[in-house]
């Protein structure tokens, strides 16, 4: 339904200007190379504050940026981002297991409600920890909104957040005694 | 830990925790609200009361946790659609919408223009279905059984439309990577406009019987006030955020698909109480009718509705984070791909989970009798929060 026979009405326009080729959107790697100016500006603020050796810029895409930092100064950097750049809440906290590197990456997706010019932006603040003894300092005191997300990350990936009010069961059953389920070595039975 | 970090825990929470620690005092009583409570949904929160006042509240979700994120890692990008809409079956168009946006960005697909309009329409219809269901439950929570019946009945208007559009009343699997599953049927536009016109009349009646009802306003006005600063600090989203005076809507903040061509107002209120949290969804529904009319008006008459995809689409290694405005606020998908047809990691960041943190914040210090009006005003959907 809704289909009309082709070439019926808009043939005149077609002669004057040939229809543009359907542009396939560029792959991710190409987008990264462009680095939009506004995003670059606030990332460079962080880099200039803490030095290039502490901040590794993973990507700068339109509206999305990601920096990877060492866990020992993540609190200072998060506080700087909150106070100076205006990212005021954590939208989500995601842990990803990388058994090949023997590491777990924890990402804080930070957004802003109070500053209109960065309302569409999401700054991902990532850090990595050793898989065997996964411990990270909590960002609950910087972003209160991260509290339940961190608690979920604790039980799903076994990352202990030092200083978190409750590293405790949340979504899983109280008697859960298996591996943290979102680690890659936890397999769903039969698959 | 760094020294310059200020502690931002509330005084009330500290107080609550302290009292529980000294709970030898027989005055305190701990109650478990849910998961069998008819109103709580599949959700429990443990409240400690001192007489009539709540001194401590501890949410305990997880009764309907299904491991959606883990399941995603075992299926390819297309196979993931049907189970991803399970967490919120009334709003399944929105929960698959942001997934589709994320997969499209990852794989690099351009959606045809007509397809963009149709899936925006489907998501608006589902937003109405969800909000009406939520409103009906809110009515029965406050003992207003008419308000349970009316939205449940009027919900059928939109369910009929979705049925005609997709072939299923709920869980349509309609918004998919690349566009929508099928084109709109014959006569759908007129039917849609007719239903919207009828529904707008009904919205006025809702206001008369429910929102202007002194029983309702007494139970909600000035109850559970969430200040603007706290709303931002706790990172709540959706109608809860907008009721506290922050005009933030993903459709406006970060327009996706065709929303930058549509003229609409972000509805918000400043009082931040339960009444505002109940009234903002009504304003949203009104605005949504306006949006749907514009979508139907601006939709191209013909064209493709879906971009061709490979049987098992895959993108380059990388990660994407996309979000849409669902019935419960921002709904984001964070997808990590390792270059295979299956995602390496999928994180669903849902509005319900983010709004849960406001529950202990609001309940501590309020009366137990205010619990239903505060709890359900948070637009909390337990199944979605558990995933």
CB of B74 closer than 8 Å to CB of A189: no
Identify the domain containing residue A90 by its residue range.
31-162
Nearest CA in chain B to A168: B60
Domain presence at residue A167: no
Cβ neighbours of A79 (radius 10 Å): 18
Q: What is the pLDDT of residue A22?
A: 41
Please answer yes or no on whether A172 and B233 come within 8 Å at the CB atom.
no
Residue A63: list chain B partners with CB under 8 A.
254
Q: Would residue A189 count as lying in a domain?
A: no
pLDDT for position A2: 42
Q: What residue in B sits closest to A122 (Cα-Cα)?
A: B321
B315·A27 Cβ contact <8 A: yes
Confidence category of residue A28, pLDDT binned at 50, 70, 90: low
More confident residue, B126 or A53: B126
Cβ distance of A188 and B318 shorter than 8 Å: no
pLDDT of A16 over the 50 cut? no
What integer best gives the mean pLDDT of chain A?
79
Tell me how far CA of residue B122 lies from CA of B7, B113, B127, B147, B374, in angstroms.
44, 14, 9, 25, 30
| Residue B111 backbone zone (phi > 0: left; psi -120 to 50: alpha; other: beta) | beta
Chain B residues touching residue A114 (CB < 8 angstroms): 232, 246
Q: What are the φ/ψ torsions at residue A104 (nearest 5 degrees)?
A: -125, 130
Q: Which residues pair with B337 in a beta bridge?
A: B318, B343
Residue ranges for chain B with pLDDT beneath 50: 1-9, 12, 14-23
Domains of chain B and any CATH numbers: 11-60 (no CATH), 68-386 (1.10.645.10)
pLDDT for position B19? 44
Rounded to whole angstroms, how far apart are CA atoms B385 and B387? 6
Confirm whether A176 is domain-assigned. Answer: no
Q: Where does the pLDDT of residue A15 fall: very low under 50, low under 70, confident under 90, or very high at 90 and above? A: very low
In chain B, which residue's Cα lies nearest the Cα of A90?
B235
Contact (Cβ atoms closer than 8 angstroms) between residue B178 and residue B109 = yes
Question: Which one, of B93, B101, B153, lies nearest residue B124 by Cα?
Answer: B93
Q: What is the mean pLDDT of residues A127-147?
A: 89
CA distance B103 to chain A (A): 12
Cβ contact (<8 Å) for A170 and B71? Answer: no
Q: Are B252 and B290 in contact (CB under 8 A)?
A: no
Number of structural domains in chain A: 1
Handedness of CA B69, B71, B76, B82 (dihedral sign): negative
A158: domain CATH number is: 3.30.460.80
In this structure, are residues B314 and B107 in contact, taking their beta carbons and an 8 Å threshold? yes
Asked if residue B190 lies in contact with residue B244, where contact means CB atoms within 8 angstroms, the answer is: no
At A62-83, the pLDDT tens digits run 888 888 888 888 898 889 888 8
- Position A6 in a domain: no
Q: Is beta strand A89-98 parallel, antiparallel or unpaired with respect to A64-69?
A: unpaired
Residue B214 CA neighbour count, 13 Å, CB half: 0
Task: State which residue of chain B sits closest to A112, comparing Cα positions.
Answer: B232
pLDDT of residue A64: 86
pLDDT, position A43: 79
Q: Is the ipTM of this complex over 0.85?
A: no
**Each residue of B170-229: pLDDT tens digit?**
888 888 888 898 888 888 999 999 999 999 999 999 988 888 888 888 888 888 888 998
| Cβ neighbours of A22 in B, within 8 Å | 110
Give domain status of residue A40, yes or no: yes
The span from the CA of B196 to the CA of B160, in Å, is: 12
Q: Is residue A183 part of a domain?
A: no
Distance between CA atoms of B121 and A2, rounded to whole angstroms? 16
Cα gap A74→A125, rounded to integer Å: 9
pLDDT of residue B38: 62
Residue A88 with chain B: CB contacts under 8 Å: 232-233
Longest alpha-carbon distance in chain B = 72
Which residue, A164, A75, A166, is CA-closest to B6? Answer: A75
* C-beta neighbour count of B301 within 10 angstroms: 10
Tell me the chain B residues in contact with residue A118 when contact means C-beta distances shorter than 8 Å: none
Q: What chain B residue is nearest to A110 in terms of C-alpha separation?
A: B235
Q: How far out from the chain centre does Cα B23 lie?
A: 37
Q: Which residues contact B354 (CB under 8 A, 6 or more apart)?
A: A91, A92, A145, B235, B236, B237, B329, B330
Looking at the predicted structure, is the pLDDT value of residue A32 above 80? Answer: no
Average pLDDT over residues A97-112: 90
pLDDT at position A6 is 43
CA atoms within 13 A on the CB side of B368: 17
Residue numbers in B near A4 (CB within 8 A): 301-302
CB contact under 8 A, B253 and A120: yes
| Interface test with chain B among A69, A81, A91, by most B beta carbons within 10 Å | A91
Chain B residues close to A147, C-beta within 8 Å: 357
- What pLDDT score does A20 carry? 45
pLDDT tens digit sequence for A140-186: 888 988 999 999 999 888 899 988 888 888 888 888 888 888 888 88
């Amino acid at each position: 339904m809704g289909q009309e026979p082709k070439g019926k009405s808009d043939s005149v326009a077609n002669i004057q200007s040939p229809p543009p080729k359907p542009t396939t959107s560029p792959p991710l790697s190409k987008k990264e190379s462009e680095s939009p100016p506004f995003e670059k500006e606030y990332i460079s603020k962080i880099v200039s504050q803490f030095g290039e050796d502490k901040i590794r810029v993973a990507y700068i895409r339109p509206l999305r940026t990601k920096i990877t930092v060492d866990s020992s100064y993540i609190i200072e950097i998060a506080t700087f981002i909150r106070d100076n750049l205006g990212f005021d809440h954590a939208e989500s906290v995601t842990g990803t297991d990388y058994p090949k590197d023997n590491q777990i990456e924890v990402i804080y997706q930070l957004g802003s409600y109070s500053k209109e010019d960065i309302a569409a932006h999401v700054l991902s603040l990532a850090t990595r920890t050793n898989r065997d003894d996964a411990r990270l300092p909590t960002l609950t005191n910087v972003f209160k909104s991260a509290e339940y997300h961190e608690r979920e990350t604790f039980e799903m990936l076994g990352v202990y957040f030092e200083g978190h009010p409750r590293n405790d069961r949340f979504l899983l059953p109280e008697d859960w005694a298996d591996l943290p389920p979102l680690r890659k070595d936890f397999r769903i039975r039969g698959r | 830990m760094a020294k310059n970090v200020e502690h931002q825990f509330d005084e009330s929470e500290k107080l609550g925790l302290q009292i529980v620690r000294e709970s030898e005092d027989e005055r305190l009583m701990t109650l478990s609200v849910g998961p069998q409570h008819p109103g709580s949904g599949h959700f429990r929160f443990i409240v400690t009361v001192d007489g009539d006042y709540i001194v401590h509240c501890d949410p305990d979700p997880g009764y309907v946790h299904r491991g959606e994120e883990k399941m995603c890692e075992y299926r390819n990008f297309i196979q993931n659609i049907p189970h991803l809409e399970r967490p919120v079956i009334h709003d399944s168009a929105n929960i698959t919408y942001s997934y589709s946006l994320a997969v499209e960005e990852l794989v690099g697909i351009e959606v045809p223009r007509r397809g963009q309009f149709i899936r925006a329409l489907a998501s608006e219809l589902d937003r109405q279905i969800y909000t009406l269901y939520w409103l009906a439950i809110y009515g029965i929570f406050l003992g207003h059984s008419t308000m349970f019946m009316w939205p449940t009945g009027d919900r059928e208007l939109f369910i009929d439309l979705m049925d005609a559009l997709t072939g299923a009343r709920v869980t349509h699997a309609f918004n998919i990577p690349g566009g929508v599953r099928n084109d709109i049927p014959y006569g759908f536009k007129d039917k849609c406009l007719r239903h919207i016109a009828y529904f707008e009349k009904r919205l006025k009646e809702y206001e008369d019987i429910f929102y202007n009802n002194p029983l309702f306003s007494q139970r909600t006005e000035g109850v559970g006030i969430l200040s603007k600063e706290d709303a931002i600090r706790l990172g709540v989203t959706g109608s809860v955020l907008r009721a506290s005076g922050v005009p933030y809507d993903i459709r406006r903040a970060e327009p996706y698909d065709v929303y930058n061509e549509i003229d609409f107002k972000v509805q918000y209120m400043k009082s931040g109480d339960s009444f505002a949290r109940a009234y903002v969804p009504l304003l949203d529904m009104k605005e949504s009718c306006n949006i749907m009319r514009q979508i139907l008006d601006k939709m191209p008459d013909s064209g493709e509705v879906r971009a061709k995809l490979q049987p098992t689409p895959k993108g380059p290694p990388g990660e994407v984070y996309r979000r849409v405005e669902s019935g419960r606020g921002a709904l984001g998908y964070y997808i990590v791909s390792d270059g295979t047809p299956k995602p390496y990691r999928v994180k669903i960041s849902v509005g319900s989970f983010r709004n849960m943190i406001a529950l202990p914040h609001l309940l501590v210090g309020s009366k137990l009798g205010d619990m239903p009006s505060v709890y359900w005003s948070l637009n909390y959907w337990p199944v979605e929060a558990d995933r």
